[in-house]
C-alpha cells in the first residue's frame, strides 16, 4: 500500500495560542498631543538665564525688584536728556513684586502662599491689593513689598513732614494685614498730605484712573468729627487711638498705596502685552526662546566681532538700542523679567522643542 501525499490540509483540531490582553484605551487618547512643558528653573544658564535663582519669598522679592531693567549699553542712541528721564523714571518706581512672579521663581504654590501669609502676619512684608486691577494670576493687583522698603520710601518722602511720617509708620505697624485705611485715623490735612505723597489712594481713583483730591474732604471731615468725639469721651491722642477692625476697614474708601504704583502697573501691563504681540507674529503662536529674545531686543547692533567688523567698514550693523520699543517705551525692561511675569500670570508656557532648545507658546 502506497502512501499518498497531497496538499490537502490535515484534518484535526488545532490549539490556538493565547493572545496578549489588549491594553485599555486611555481617557486622553482623544486629546491633541502636545510637546512636554519645561520649567523656567530647569533652563540651561545663558547670558540672560543665569543662576542662582532665589530660594525663599524674601529673596524672590529682592530678585524681582533689582532685575527689572537692563543696564544702559555703551552705545544706547539716546541724548542726555532722554537718558536722565529714563533713569529718573526707573528710580521713581516702587519696589513691588507681583505674587505671580514670585510663584514663577519658587514653583511651590502651597509652600509659597504659606510663607507669604506668615511673613505678612509677622510684619516683614506687606501684601498690596489694588482693586480694579484683577485678582487672578493674570491680574496686576496683587503685589508684595518688603516692610523695610516701604519704611525707606516714607522716610525719604519730601512731601510729608516728620510728625506725619512717624504717625503713618506707627499706623502701618498696627494695621496688620488690612490694606484699607480706617476712618478717623488721620486729620484732614494729614489725609491730604498722604494722598498727594502717594501713600494712600481713594477708591474712586481705581475706576477713574487718576487720583481725585476733590473727592477727599468728605471722608476726612466726618473722620475728624468722629475723632473729636472719641477724644472728648476718652481723652486719648490721635496716635493712641486703636486701629479699627477689618470689618470696619472694609467700609472705608481709602487704601494703602505706594508712590507711582500706577506707572509701575502700566509699564508691567505694557511689557506683558508686547511679549504676547511678539509671540503672535508666528502663525502658531509659539517661538523658540532665542528667537523671541531677538524679537524683544530688536535688530540692534552688538559688540560681537562681526558687528564690530561691519561698523569698522562703515556697513549697517543694526540699529541703536534707543530706537527700539524695548528702550523707547519699556525703558530697557529685561527680557527674562517680563518672561517670568508672563509665565506666572499664565499668559504663556514654556516647553522643550527637542531640537532648538526651549520654546514659548501663548495660552
Tell me what pLDDT residue 173 has: 86
Contacts of 155 (CB under 8 A, 6+ apart): 165
In angstroms, the Cα distances linking 35 to 59, 275, 280, 349, 350 are 32, 21, 18, 11, 10
Cβ distance 270 to 330 under 8 Å? yes
Structural domain spans, the chain: 40-92+264-362, 158-258
Give the per-residue pLDDT at 178.
78
pTM over 0.75: no
Give the helix/strand (H/E) hosting 20.
Answer: none
Question: Cell 566681532, residue?
Answer: 305
CA distance 292 to 278: 7
What's the alpha-carbon Rg for the chain, to the nearest Å?
30
Q: What is the pLDDT of residue 54?
A: 83
End-to-end CA distance of the chain: 84
List the grid coordinates of 66.
533689582
Determine the pLDDT at residue 229. Answer: 36
Detail the DSSP E strand segments found in 80-219. 97-98, 125-129, 142-146, 180-181, 200-202
Contact 193, 160 (CB under 8 A): yes
Instruction: Per residue of the chain (363 residues), give pLDDT as tens.
Output: 444 444 444 455 555 555 555 554 444 344 444 444 555 555 443 445 455 678 899 999 999 999 999 998 887 888 999 999 999 999 999 999 999 999 999 988 899 999 999 999 998 999 988 766 655 555 677 899 999 999 999 999 999 999 999 999 998 888 877 777 877 888 889 999 999 999 988 765 544 443 333 333 333 333 333 333 333 333 344 344 444 444 443 444 688 889 999 899 999 999 999 999 999 998 888 899 988 998 898 876 555 554 556 555 555 456 778 888 999 999 999 999 999 999 998 899 999 888 888 999 998
| DSSP tag of 32 | P
**Strand segments (E) across 244-299:** 254-256, 286-288
Helix (H) / strand (E) containing 358: strand 358-362
Our CA angle for 89, 94, 97, nearest 5°, is 120
All three cell numbers of 47: 547670558
Determine if residue 250 is left, alpha or beta; phi over 0 gives left, psi from -120 to 50 gives alpha, anything else beta: alpha
- Predicted pLDDT at 353: 84
Q: What is the pLDDT of residue 139?
A: 63
Amino acid at each position: 500500500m502506497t502512501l499518498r501525499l497531497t496538499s490537502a490540509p490535515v484534518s484535526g483540531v488545532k490549539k490556538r495560542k493565547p493572545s496578549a490582553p489588549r491594553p485599555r484605551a486611555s481617557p486622553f487618547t482623544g486629546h491633541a498631543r502636545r510637546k512636554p512643558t519645561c520649567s523656567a528653573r530647569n533652563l540651561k544658564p545663558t547670558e540672560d538665564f543665569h543662576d542662582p535663582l532665589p530660594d525663599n519669598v524674601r529673596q524672590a522679592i529682592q530678585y524681582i525688584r533689582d532685575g527689572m531693567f537692563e543696564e544702559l549699553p555703551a552705545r544706547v542712541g539716546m541724548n542726555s536728556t532722554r537718558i536722565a528721564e529714563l533713569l529718573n523714571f526707573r528710580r521713581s518706581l516702587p519696589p513691588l513684586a507681583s505674587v505671580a512672579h514670585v510663584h514663577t521663581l519658587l514653583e511651590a504654590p502651597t509652600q509659597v502662599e504659606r510663607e507669604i501669609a506668615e511673613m505678612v502676619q509677622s510684619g516683614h512684608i506687606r501684601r498690596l491689593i489694588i482693586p480694579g486691577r484683577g485678582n487672578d494670576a493674570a491680574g496686576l493687583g496683587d503685589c508684595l513689598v518688603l516692610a523695610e522698603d516701604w519704611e525707606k520710601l516714607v522716610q525719604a518722602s519730601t512731601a510729608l513732614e516728620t510728625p506725619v511720617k512717624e504717625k503713618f509708620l506707627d499706623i502701618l505697624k498696627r494695621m496688620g494685614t488690612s490694606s484699607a485705611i480706617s476712618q478717623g485715623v488721620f486729620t484732614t490735612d494729614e489725609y491730604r498730605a498722604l494722598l498727594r505723597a502717594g501713600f494712600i489712594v481713594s477708591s474712586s481713583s481705581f475706576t477713574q484712573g487718576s487720583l481725585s483730591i476733590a473727592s477727599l474732604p468728605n471722608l476726612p471731615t466726618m473722620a475728624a468729627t468722629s475723632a473729636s468725639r472719641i477724644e472728648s469721651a476718652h481723652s486719648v491722642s490721635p496716635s493712641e487711638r486703636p486701629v479699627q477692625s477689618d470689618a470696619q476697614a472694609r467700609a472705608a474708601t481709602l487704601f494703602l498705596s505706594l508712590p507711582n504704583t500706577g506707572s509701575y502697573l502700566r509699564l508691567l501691563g505694557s511689557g506683558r502685552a508686547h511679549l504676547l504681540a511678539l509671540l503672535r507674529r508666528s502663525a502658531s503662536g509659539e517661538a523658540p526662546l532665542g528667537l523671541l529674545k531677538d524679537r524683544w531686543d530688536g535688530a540692534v547692533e552688538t559688540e560681537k566681532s562681526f558687528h564690530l567688523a561691519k561698523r569698522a567698514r562703515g556697513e549697517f550693523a543694526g540699529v541703536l538700542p534707543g530706537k527700539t520699543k524695548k528702550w523707547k517705551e519699556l525703558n530697557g525692561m529685561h527680557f527674562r523679567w517680563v518672561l517670568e511675569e508672563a509665565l506666572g500670570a499664565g499668559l504663556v508656557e514654556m516647553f522643550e522643542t527637542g531640537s532648538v532648545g526651549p520654546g514659548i507658546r501663548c495660552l
